[in-house]
Amino acid sequence: MERSTCMDEYEKLVIRMSTPRVVIDNAVCSTTTVVKVDSGRRHGILLDAVQVLTDLNLSIKKAYISSDGKWFMDVFHVTDQNRNKLTDESVISYIEQSLGTIHYGRTSSYNGLTALELTGTDRVGLLSEVFAVLSELQCNVVEAKVWTHNGRIASLIYVKDCNSGSPIEDSQQIDRIEARLRNVLKGDNDIRSAKTSVSMDVIHSERRLHQMMFADRDYERKPIFKYSCDSPLVSVQNWAERGYSVVNIQCKDRIKLLFDVVCTLTDMEYVVFHATINTSGDLACQEFYIRHKDGTPISSEPERQRVIQCLQAAVERRASEGVRLELCAGDRQGLLADVMRTFRENGLNVTRAEVSTTRDMALNVFYVTDAVGNTADPKIIESVRQKIGLNNLKVKELPLICHEKAERDDEEVGVGGAVLLSLGSLVRRNLYNLGLIRSCS
Mean pLDDT score, 308-312: 97
Mean pLDDT score, 413-430: 43
Neighbours of 3 (CB within 10 A): 7
C-beta of residue 151 within 8 angstroms of C-beta of residue 172: no
C-beta of residue 32 within 8 angstroms of C-beta of residue 77: yes
Taken in order of first residue, the domains within the chain and their CATH numbers are 114-222+320-397 (3.30.70.260)
C-beta of residue 287 within 8 angstroms of C-beta of residue 248: yes
Give pLDDT tens digits for 328-339: 999 988 899 999
SS3 241: coil
Give which of 180, 144, 145 is closest to 160, Cα–Cα.
Answer: 144
**Dist CA 441 CA 269 (whole Å):** 33
C-beta of residue 154 within 8 angstroms of C-beta of residue 147: yes
Give pLDDT tens digits for 252-261: 999 999 999 9
The least confident of 9-23, 161-175, 201-215 is 9-23
pTM over 0.95, yes/no = no
Give pLDDT tens digits for 132-162: 999 999 999 999 999 999 989 999 999 998 8
Mean pLDDT score, 312-328: 91
DSSP 328-375: EEE--TTHHHHHHHHHHHTT-EEEEEEEEEETTEEEEEEEEE-TTSSP
Mean pLDDT of the chain, nearest integer? 84
Answer with the residue of higher pLDDT: 172 or 422.
172
Answer with the residue of higher pLDDT: 28 or 191.
28
Q: What angle do CA 80, 286, 49 make, to 5 degrees?
A: 50
C-beta of residue 279 within 8 angstroms of C-beta of residue 61: yes
Counting Cα atoms < 13 Å in the Cβ hemisphere of 180 gives: 18
